[in-house]
Amino acid sequence: MKKFITLASLSFLVLFSSLFVNTSSTEAAGNTKLLIAEAKKLIGTPYRYGGTTPRGFDCSGFVYYTHKKIGITLPRSSKLMYQKGKTVYKSGLKPGDLVFFNTSKSRKGVSHVAIYIGDNRIIHAVSKGVKIDNLNNSYWKKRYVGAKRL
């Protein structure tokens, strides 16, 4: 009887303590998969300056929209998005990280944002619409500014 009470108490303690375990990494992994799935559904959507809907996106509108679909609100511009989250080294990128570039010849700072999806690939809205590109292709490689993890 004493063993049963001890076992029952231990089981209750394990069950009760599991309610307080940090599941944020599991939730983050689930959110990342949802984010990338939402983003991939939009491949081929046309580019539209200022666009924030599946009728057409600009780069930050695409990132804003896909994050909003999974319940995350971001600022609307790539410049303001770059001010959010934790800085990540390029060598430490994980799927779901935001990747920033300077595509402007006349301005300094950030002018383009994409979502890192793994294997050196990014998904973003460019003049040809929403597409996947290699992060290390010559165009993006020399315009890379940094990355953030939300």
Residue 96 pLDDT level (bands cut at 50, 70, 90): very high
Say yes or no to pLDDT of 2 above 70: no
The radius of gyration of the chain's CA atoms, rounded to the nearest angstrom, is 20
Of the chain, the end-to-end C-alpha distance in Å amounts to 51
Domain membership of residue 14 (yes or no) is: no
- Amino acid 14: pLDDT: 38
Residues with catalytic roles: 59, 112, 124
- Amino acid 106: pLDDT: 75
Here the CATH number for the domain that contains residue 95 is 3.90.1720.10
User: For the chain, how many structural domains are there in total?
Assistant: 1
Q: Are 86 and 148 in contact (CB under 8 A)?
A: yes
Q: What domain range is 108 assigned to? A: 45-149
- Amino acid 27: pLDDT: 52
> pTM of this prediction?
0.81
- Amino acid 10: pLDDT: 40
What is the amino acid identity at position 121?
R
Q: What is the Cα–Cα distance from 118 to 127, expressed in whole angstroms?
A: 22
Q: What is the Cα–Cα distance from 85 to 82, expressed in whole angstroms?
A: 8
